Amino acid sequence: MDQASVASGELISSEPATGAPLWSGPVGDIDDAVARARRAWPGWAAQPHSNRIETVRRFANEVRREHDRLANLIARETGRPLWEARGEVEEVVARVEIAVRGFAERTSHRRLDSALQGSAALRHKPHGVMAVITPASGPASVPAGHIIPALIAGNTVVFKPSERAPATGELLVQCFHRAGISASVVQMVAGGPEQGQQLATHEGIDGVLFTGSAHVGIAINRRLAANPGKLVALELGGNNPIVVWDTPKIADAAVLVVQSAFASSGQRCTSARRLIVKDALADDLIEEVRRLADRLIVGAPFDDPAPFMGPVFDNRTADGLTESFVYLLSNGGRAIKHLVRLDEANPFLSPAIIDVTRMKERPDVELFGPLLQVVVVDDFDAAIAEANATRFGLCAALVGGSPQDYNRFWAQVRAGVINWNRPTTAHSHAAPMGGVGLSGNHRPAAYYAADSCAYPVASAELDQPRAGIGVGLRDT
């Protein structure tokens, strides 16, 4: 059973781990939601900045009160282990103060005195009504990362969560409302791709904050290309490389590879899709990665002992990943660890590893799941070239190597997040988050989210009119 279906004006979502129905509700009325948000915007934008900050801080307190309920809901709705879902709730809380600091730094008000010329002022205005469209990966932290800075800036928000994660989205919005934010200022509309497209292209929307696949992001960008007045911020996926170079710490390197490739069942935009390894290290490293992957527990969110990874989103996703593995195998790939369906009824997959070094043409796609491709190279230039052999540019990591190697890697690899001796998934929300190429449109989120939520207004100001024309006038 797929996790979500939209039929007869109702959305139904199910738990990936069991197939049991979890949430149902009517498909949202986009026109009505946008109209309500437009009516609410002037009042919200007119509130003092300090009031809006205080309100989102109250939201953080509401999330703290709902910690266990929200974590359980995330675990059930995504299939992720409960320990991981708890970490996501803590991340939502942390995003509030990060957004407050980011707004103060990125969009601060400035005034420059200029004696008789008055003063020059820089202020920022909200765009108006923002559409927030997010995926099932990070069903609480990702929308919070968009909604919180949008509200601080003075925007109202119409939020469409993934059709796979409406229950988490609903509880998140309830926390905003209980914090004192009007139900017209932040609204959730349930629905599938059709509703997402309708919301993104609605004439009453002033900006679109989108996180999701490159395929959908490109479609949104094309649809809105003729409307330069509408802000579009795209956080898309990646075909992310992790490069392992000269290091005696093979066991540690293997752990970093496994964390990068298989955490969250490989269903993070920052997950490593490609392992690029020096030929002298390849046999030992690949064997250690395989041994560690064999030990990973795959299970349901509340299993005891706790699993490392849960199911993928739904059976359609599992089938697609299985087909991709077979394609790679049939076109020159060598299986190191096979992709196995662990449950006939539900989308549990084993972590898989395949050596694609001898493939003539490697597909440059984001395989969103626990499937790691291996490429063996003989020198560092080839490793960098292989890392850059993608249209994407979200994350990259170097494991091992010297400081000089890392300097070269950082300078030459094209990505928005570049790590050294850390997983590709390691990222601080107190830093900007975004990529280049098919991974984004140069509007990073996280600490830089304020850039997409307010626009700068420059002013030259005097308290009284004072002017004269010094040249070019006839004598009176």
For 299-338, write each residue's pLDDT tens digit. 999 999 999 999 999 999 999 999 999 999 999 999 999 9
The answer to whether the pTM exceeds 0.85 is yes
Q: Give backbone dihedrals phi and psi of 60, rounded to 5 degrees, phi first.
A: -60, -40
Kind plus residue range of the DSSP H or E element containing 284 = helix 279-295
Q: Give backbone dihedrals phi and psi of 445, rounded to 5 degrees, phi first.
A: -105, -150
The sign one gets for the Cα dihedral 213, 214, 215, 217 is: positive
Q: Which residue has the tokens 């690899």?
A: 413
The pLDDT assigned to 3 comes to 63
Of 269, 386, 395, 453, the active-site residue reads 269
The pLDDT assigned to 169 comes to 98
The pLDDT assigned to 31 comes to 98
Token pair recorded at residue 472: 């070019």
Q: Which domains are present in the chain?
A: 4-236+440-460 (3.40.605.10), 240-420 (3.40.309.10)
Question: Are 101 and 95 in contact, with CB atoms under 8 Å apart?
Answer: no
Give 249-271 pLDDT, tens digit per residue. 999 999 999 999 999 999 999 99
Mean pLDDT, residues 342-371: 96
Question: Are 354 and 326 in contact, with CB atoms under 8 Å apart?
Answer: no
Instruction: Reply yes or no on whether the pLDDT at 7 is more than 90.
Output: no
Question: Are 134 and 142 in contact, with CB atoms under 8 Å apart?
Answer: yes
Kind plus residue range of the DSSP H or E element containing 117 = none
Mean pLDDT, residues 63-91: 98
Residue 235 bears catalytic tag:
yes
Mean pLDDT, residues 2-26: 87
What are the angstrom distances between the C-alpha of 294 and each of 297, 342, 351, 426?
A: 8, 13, 8, 23
What are the E-state strand segments in 127-262?
A: 129-133, 156-160, 186-188, 207-211, 231-235, 240-244
Instruction: Reply yes or no on whether the pLDDT at 96 is more than 50.
Output: yes
Cis status, amide bond into 305, omega within 30 of 0: yes
Give 202-250 pLDDT, tens digit per residue. 999 999 999 999 999 999 999 999 999 999 999 999 999 999 999 999 9
Instruction: Reply yes or no on whether the pLDDT at 370 is more than 60.
Output: yes
Mean pLDDT across the chain: 96
The pLDDT assigned to 115 comes to 62
The pLDDT assigned to 1 comes to 45
Instruction: Reply yes or no on whether the pLDDT at 277 is more than 80.
Output: yes
How many Cβ atoms sit within 10 Å of the Cβ of residue 332? 14
Of 77, 88, 235, 288, the active-site residue reads 235
Residue 54 bears catalytic tag:
no
Q: How far apart are CA 412 and CA 426, in angstroms?
A: 20
Give 427-465 pLDDT, tens digit per residue. 988 899 999 999 999 999 999 999 999 999 999 888 888
DSSP state of 96: H
Report the number of secondary-structure helices (H) and strands (E) in the chain.
13, 20
How many Cβ atoms sit within 10 Å of the Cβ of residue 149? 32
Percent of the chain's residues with pLDDT above 70: 98
Q: What one-character-per-residue DSSP string does 322-384 give?
A: HHHHHHHHHTT-EEEE---BS-SSS--B--EEEE-TT-SS-------SSEEEEEEESSHHHHH
Token pair recorded at residue 395: 């994350």
Over the Cα atoms of the chain, what is R_g?
24
Mean pLDDT, residues 84-90: 98
